[in-house]
Structure 1
Amino acid sequence: MKGLIGVGVALVTPFDENDQVDFDTLGKLIDFQIEGEVDYLVLLGTTGETATLTTEEKKEIFKYASKKANGRVPLVAGIGGNNTTELVSFLRETDLSAYSAILSVSPYYNKPTQEGIYQHYARLAKATDLPIILYNVPRRTGSHMEPKTILRLANDFNNIVGIKDACGDFDQYNKIMRDKPADFLLISGDDALFLPMASIGAQGLISVAGNAFPKEIKQLTSLTLDNKWHEAREIHLHLLPLFELCFTESNPAGVKAMLNEKRLCSEATRLPLVPVTEPTRDQIKQELKQLGI
């Protein structure tokens, strides 16, 4: 799983003025990321507003992205939800031959027990030969994957290869790093936490800010993983205000505003999300100007 070490960018889904997926802009964003030398791309994660997309739109995006990337960079497919049977069907009927792995968020809304979370992922792992990256983000899902559940899955299934964790709990990260299988990856799900997580052994970041700043995020992760901590810390602190502004209002509204300032993508989101408010937009403009971006 060397292709998942480093930085993956959780791509936004661009929309046009008619609220349709803007494939032309998506293609330009894919090129922009590859030019920024990111290590891989994640399609249809949280930042892709996946919850507002139809099944057909999801399949079209997976197909388009694989054709556009054309093998230039590994691709990860975001496939998660709270209906296990439906997810298994989606996995079996969707062409994922161009994808290197699946990123699957822990079931949301249902608030399953730890055993329910384990059985959910066990069913997914048996339904595909692709590597699976678990995704723990309790602020969104309403439930938390405990270390014992993560480690149980890591040990029981060879194709469960890592976890993107965005819980912010370093006690959890310490336990994962101490007890995980040697080749199981801990991946930061938060731009602002990658540097400190890397200090205990995290090997990657799935980035939101990377949508607008792929070169800078790639530099940050490369320096960190090369143990050039002083240089990495300077970049981390330099970009920290932008990391925070990505989440001042609901993601991906913040990073879409940044992309709009760089004339790469419109601010359009799908309801119930809306573009950032004017005060946040002004903050973003001021911060970009101050940073010389």
Structure 2
Amino acid sequence: MSIFKGAGVALLTPFNEDNTINFEELGKIIEDQIAGGTDALIVCGTTGEPATMSYEERQSVIEFAVKTVNKRIPVIAGTGANSTHTAIKLSEQAKEVGADAILVVTPFYNKCTQAGLYEHYKAVATAVDLPIIMYNVPSRTGCNILPETAIKLAKEFENIVAIKEASGDISQIADLAAMNDGVLDIYSGNDDQVIPILSLGGIGVISVLSNVAPKDTHDMVMSYLEGNTKKALSLQLKYLNVIHALFSEVNPIPVKWAANIMGYKAGGLRLPLTELEESHKKELELAMKNACII
């Protein structure tokens, strides 16, 4: 059974002025996401800035999300690390506080081989009996899960159930779909490729766009899955300029600024991330106005 179908939000983490986590605002954002029709909550993924959080902060955000959601939708915890030992520790902590599943990015910086990727995910899957979504984003990690490796892992470990595909390589994703044989759910990891990946058998998206447009991102996916491809495509194209602007600088720089101008107290970013450049602010604001987000 799939963890979710539809649009899961890659949730940002709001900070106070002193860069501590703003749990009050996080609660408000979560409630607004649920009200907007978001199908799953992904916390401490890339958009949530976990790379600059301590173990304790990551655990506290996951635990807070689990308690706030209270089983209304799945809570998926980002527990990836460049050390397998650390990924296991974070995954165990996520299970302890009640996460429904974990999102495990490929080990960044190490640039391990396919054999190394296999052993990494094998170790996590063996240590923690939660459903696992593998996260393939080579542009950020320097490491690419090839289709053969992903399928092998899914066939051998029953709790490796899905992959977030953010390689941007539609040909590779087509190869993955062709050899899938129903063992692995495929989620788009790129908001500008939702419809193409759904057309290859994907069942949803883990989305940055959902932070600012949860209902339409949900509707985009579900319209496609329910056969209304015309509506789905119109929503994909409606938000294309917003999506481009949300990635004008490295995620989550633009989406945090977007959340702030929407009225959320998203706060700033922890170094080495810095504030969105003025030219990109204008680009994003115009795109959001044209899409009737603000």
Q: TM-score range by the shorter chain?
A: over 0.9
The one-letter code matched in structure 1 to 2:276 is V
Question: What are the within-5 Å matches in structure 2 for residues 1-293 of structure 1?
Answer: 1-96=1-96, 98-293=98-293
Residue 66 of structure 1: CA displacement? 1.0
8 Å contact from structure 2 (residues 8, 41) kept in 1: yes
* TM-score, normalisation: structure 1: 0.96
More displaced 10-residue stretch of structure 1: 92-101 or 128-137:
92-101
Residue 97 of structure 1: CA displacement? 5.2
Q: Which runs of 5+ in 1 are unaligned?
A: none
8 Å contact from structure 1 (residues 203, 225) kept in 2: yes
Change in Cα spacing, 1:223 to 1:96, as seen in structure 2 (3 Å) is farther
- Once residues 3 and 129 of structure 2 are traced to their aligned partners in structure 1, the CA distance between those partners, rounded to angstroms, is 17
- Once residues 137 and 43 of structure 1 are traced to their aligned partners in structure 2, the CA distance between those partners, rounded to angstroms, is 17
- Once residues 123 and 223 of structure 2 are traced to their aligned partners in structure 1, the CA distance between those partners, rounded to angstroms, is 38
Other structure's SS at 2:154 match:
helix
More displaced 10-residue stretch of structure 1: 166-175 or 136-145:
166-175
- Once residues 168 and 149 of structure 1 are traced to their aligned partners in structure 2, the CA distance between those partners, rounded to angstroms, is 18
Residue 183 of structure 1: CA displacement? 4.1
The one-letter code matched in structure 2 to 1:179 is M
CA RMSD of aligned residues (A): 1.3
8 Å contact from structure 1 (residues 187, 204) kept in 2: yes
- Once residues 62 and 247 of structure 1 are traced to their aligned partners in structure 2, the CA distance between those partners, rounded to angstroms, is 25
8 Å contact from structure 2 (residues 16, 267) kept in 1: no
The one-letter code matched in structure 1 to 2:114 is Q
- Once residues 123 and 3 of structure 1 are traced to their aligned partners in structure 2, the CA distance between those partners, rounded to angstroms, is 21
Change in Cα spacing, 1:112 to 1:230, as seen in structure 2 (3 Å) is same
Residue 132 of structure 1: CA displacement? 0.5
- Once residues 113 and 135 of structure 2 are traced to their aligned partners in structure 1, the CA distance between those partners, rounded to angstroms, is 16
Change in Cα spacing, 1:254 to 1:267, as seen in structure 2 (3 Å) is farther
More displaced 10-residue stretch of structure 1: 232-241 or 264-273:
264-273
List per-residue Cα deviations over 1:231-283 (Å, max 9, x = no partner): 11111111000111111011111111111111023341111001211111111
8 Å contact from structure 2 (residues 246, 284) kept in 1: no
- Once residues 228 and 94 of structure 1 are traced to their aligned partners in structure 2, the CA distance between those partners, rounded to angstroms, is 37
Number of residue-to-residue matches in the alignment: 293
8 Å contact from structure 1 (residues 101, 133) kept in 2: yes
Other structure's SS at 1:4 match:
coil
- Once residues 90 and 254 of structure 1 are traced to their aligned partners in structure 2, the CA distance between those partners, rounded to angstroms, is 27
Other structure's SS at 1:2 match:
coil
Other structure's SS at 2:230 match:
helix
More displaced 10-residue stretch of structure 1: 71-80 or 87-96:
87-96
8 Å contact from structure 2 (residues 66, 75) kept in 1: yes
- Once residues 80 and 198 of structure 1 are traced to their aligned partners in structure 2, the CA distance between those partners, rounded to angstroms, is 25
8 Å contact from structure 1 (residues 155, 181) kept in 2: no
- Once residues 221 and 209 of structure 1 are traced to their aligned partners in structure 2, the CA distance between those partners, rounded to angstroms, is 13
8 Å contact from structure 2 (residues 17, 267) kept in 1: no
The one-letter code matched in structure 1 to 2:51 is A
More displaced 10-residue stretch of structure 1: 271-280 or 283-292:
283-292
List per-residue Cα deviations over 1:165-214 (Å, max 9, x = no partner): 10111221112111114142011000110111111111110000101110
- Return structure 1 stretches of 4+ with deviation > 4 angstroms: none
